[in-house]
Structure 1
Amino acid sequence: MEKLRIAVVGTGNIFRSVHLPAWLANPEVEIVAVCDAYRAGAQKIADDYGIKDVYEDYREVIARDDVDIVNVCTPNLYHSEVSIAALKAGKHVFCEKPDAINPEEAYKMAQAAKESGKVLMVMRNNRYRPVSTFLKKYVEQGHMGDVYTGRCGWLRRRGIPGKGGWFTTKELSGGGPLIDLGVHMIDLSLWIMGNPKPVAVSGSVYTKFANNDLSDSAHSAFGSKQADGTFDVEDLATGFIRFENGASLQIEFSWASNIENEGRFVELRGTKAGFSLFNEELKLFTEIEGTLCNVIPQLPKDSGGHKNNIDHFVDVVRGRAEPIFVPEQGVDMINILSAIYESAQTGREIRLD
């Protein structure tokens, strides 16, 4: 079987740490070109892994007839621009999250995918962890009954990524931890719930640690720090989402806040059972023979979410699988995040329907 040929646009930390190992582990793909405005970074990747071609302009990459897939790992602002151009050039696209920095751009991406007939998938690695697939089946089989409410979040004590760089510059990132971390755990919650239609949100955002340089999180190593750079995004966001079916979801995300330890979580509650997922630790709360019971499933701890996500994308491109993620879900996600920011600015609930 001929290998799928991949061109990478954006060779920063997220590509090096999670995308690159996943592509290298898949025997059906081959990275043929890397592109980055910071050429030295792309050149080092090329030298280290025997990749022949290095570019600074993504337009040159997508103009190549021999490229099947474009992997987009740029700062958030450019996700839609590069993805849309690649789709229009007849390439499949695998893009790092978030889908885009506003709903209009997310919608344009979805439309470009539809018109091109090519696969557009945005990283949703948390869907592909063993614990997540277990919970998805558990809910689909009706074991939780009517899932009607819950909460999710990702809280860091001190974990601001690339402070002063593009992560903390709203024009380039679209926002702070809400768009950076929220896309992960909100998506996982909605996916397990069966992707209910969001109809209204409310939220608040805070910037309290722009002048604090303490760090206790490995995640603060992402991005390039700039001592005299910009910090015009939030470092904590809270909110509430209501859905068409009457369900609701509380959310909370921080890069910096005075808590005990960093952690990501999803808790959902149903009429028959509920669960708490904190990091990779899952507990189920239910009734068995008239007795309240806590159940701890024995699941693999090695998540492999990024690799599983990319392997699934390859399966979809090959025509062996139906996509677990579709672009319309990305549009819904960016609509939610954008509306929470609007609610924080206006001080009122924002309707989405």
Structure 2
Amino acid sequence: MSRKLKLGVVGTGNIFRSAHLPAWLEHPEIEVVALCDVVQERAQKLADEHGIALVYTDYRELLRHGDIDAVDICTPNLYHSEVAVAALKAGIHVFCEKPDAVTPEKAQEMAEAAAANGKVLMTMRNNRFTPASQYLKQYINEGHMGEIYTGRCGWLRRRGIPGKGGWFTTKELSGGGPLIDLGVHYIDLALWMMGNPKPVAVSGATYCKFAGTDLSDSEHSQFGEKKEEGTFNVEDLATGFIRFDNNATLQIEFSWASNVQEEGTFLELRGTKAGASLVKGELKLFGETAGQLVNIQPIMGNRTVDAHGEHIKHFVQVVQGREDPILIPQHGVDMIKILTALYQSAELGAEVRL
């Protein structure tokens, strides 16, 4: 085992407490030494619970601590790039909750800061680390699907608006609604499976039809802090179409609220040798063998995997020099370019070229 890495945390809200913290605490090569949050009481309570000595309300003070190897950023989206660039320039590795940034320019600044300072920059893409995703990626890499030429993906919630009235639904702070919140997950997964083709054009549409409802049937609506009479100036549904330089295409659909039967995620890929369907984590493959059409359902076993934790383990392995990253900063830059162009297309009512 290499020496322990000392970790500082910026942002101690629900996503950190529920999805990041358990993995950091369980990792034998990580020591959480400092927490930072603009709500001091929130960070202090967490520090007291886990014996963490240092608590800050200003991330700059945390970065000046001088004995931190890596930071985990779980702030509202607007501040991801600001904190990441400052940390990278201070010679500190960065793990960041998605999305990478709220503009392509800010994502590019992050990538350039990582390269200039020789530090690891990685943004949460936990869906790459589920057993089904790992299996499908290997299946594709072995050539079983042939050329993947089109696909569709989405995450639809019936009623699952997070932190209504707070930063999630305030465009200045979040960058948008479900497209940037949920789309980053499954668009990334689709692009990764397709070999990260270069996007060349997008067409998007956004809608806001449920800003007046307080109904919820999704556990995900518990993220963020609701504010009565707060701001809601983002979409609750986004649809779109992405075209790539190899003529492949991808259809997308993401909602926090829409009249569908139930919440669900899906990724569908169509290749010349086989197709794949990943719905609510269940993987099925469709092809032909010995002159007959066949359906295949891999036996994944009963493994329960914390995908967030698996990504954090991978980050540590990369920082310690034992693995090559499966996610590089350029993937984040490309992602934010796609999302930004989809929003621009929705405003213009026309296709946007990249």
**TM-score bracket for the superposition, by shorter chain length:** over 0.9
- 1:228-287 Cα distance to aligned partner (Å, 9 max, x none): 100000000000000000100000000000000100110000011001100111111111
TM-score (norm 1): 0.99
Partner of 1:167: 168
CA RMSD of aligned residues (A): 0.7
Question: Shift of residue 16 of structure 1?
Answer: 0.2
Aligned-partner residue type, residue 146 of structure 1: E
CA distances 1:191-241 after superposition (whole Å, capped 9, x unpaired): 011101111000000000000110000000000000110000000000000
Q: Secondary structure at the match of 1:6?
A: strand
Q: Deviations over 1:92-135 (max 9, x none)?
A: 00000000001010000000001010000000101111111111
Correspondence for 2:98 = 97
Per-residue CA deviation, residues 291-345 of structure 1 (Å, 9 max, x unaligned), is 1111110114523211110000000000001111000010000000000000000
Aligned length: 352
Give the aligned residue type for 1:322: D
1:148 matched to 2:149? The reply is yes
Aligned partner of residue 64 in structure 1, secondary structure: coil
SS in 2 for 1:167: helix
Q: Which residue of 2 aligns with 1:47?
A: 48
**CA deviations over 1:49-90 (Å, ceiling 9, x no partner):** 010010000000011211000110000000000000000001
Distance in 2 between residues matched to 1:147 and 1:56, nearest whole Å:
48
Matched, 1:340 2:342: yes
Provide structure 2 residue ranges, at least 5 long, that are not aligned to the other structure: none
Partner of 2:330: 328
Displacement of 1:2: 2.4
Secondary structure of the residue that 2:94 maps to in structure 1?
A: strand
What amino acid is aligned across from residue 55 of structure 1 in structure 2? Y
Whole-angstrom CA distance in 2 between matches of 1:201 and 1:15: 32
TM-score by length of structure 2 reads 0.99
For 1:3, the aligned partner's letter is K
Q: Which runs of 5+ in 1 are unaligned?
A: none
SS at match of 2:9: strand
Q: Which amino acid aligns with 1:317?
A: V
Residue 224 (structure 2) aligns with:
223
Corresponding position of 1:88: 89
AA matched with 2:351: E
2:141 and 2:248 map into 1 onto residues whose CA distance is 16
- Deviations, residues 31-51 of structure 1 (Å, cap 9, x unaligned): 000000011110111011010
2:136 is aligned with what amino acid?
A: L
Aligned to 2:306: 304
Quote the Cα distance in structure 1 between the aligned partners of 2:107 and 2:299: 38
- Find the residue that maps to 1:213 and give its secondary structure: coil
In structure 2, the residue matched to 1:315 is: 317
* Map of 1:245 onto structure 2: 246
Q: Which residue identity is paired with 2:69? A: D
**Letter paired with 2:320:** R
Q: Separation in 1 of the partners of 2:317 and 2:336?
A: 26
Rounded to whole Å, the distance in 1 between the matches of 2:280 and 2:114 is 33
Farther off after superposition, 167-176 or 134-143 = 134-143
SS of corresponding position for 1:219? helix
Q: Write out aligned runs for 1:111-126 (5 A).
A: 111-126=112-127
Match of 1:259 in 2: 260
Matched, 1:351 2:353: yes
Rounded Cα–Cα distance in structure 1 between residues aligned with 2:229 and 2:350: 34
Q: Shift in Å at residue 158 of structure 1?
A: 0.1
My pick for the range that moved more, 300-309 or 272-281, is: 300-309
Q: Which amino acid aligns with 2:141?
A: E
- Give the Cα–Cα distance (whole angstroms) in 1 for the partners of residues 197 and 267 of structure 2: 16
Amino acid in structure 2 at the alignment position of 1:168: T
SS at match of 2:254: strand
User: Are 1:9 and 2:17 matched, yes or no?
Assistant: no
CA distance in 1, matches of 2:99, 2:304: 24
Aligned letter for 1:86?
A: A
Residue 275 of structure 2 corresponds to residue 274 of structure 1: yes
Runs of 4 or more above 2 Å deviation: none
1:217 and 1:11 mapped to 2: Cα distance? 22
Deviations, residues 125-170 of structure 1 (Å, cap 9, x unaligned)? 0111111111111111110111000100000000000000000000
In the alignment, what sits opposite 1:76?
Answer: 77
Aligned residue for 1:160, secondary structure, equals coil
Tell me the secondary structure at the aligned position of residue 43 of structure 2: helix
CA distance in 2, matches of 1:276, 1:194: 17
Partner in structure 2 of residue 211 of structure 1: 212
Q: How does 1:16-31 map to 2 (within 5 A)?
A: 16-31=17-32
Q: What is the distance in 2 between the residues matched to 1:238 and 1:278?
A: 18
Q: Distance in 1 between matches of 2:138 and 2:92?
A: 33
Match of 2:238, SS state, is: strand
Percent identity, please. 67
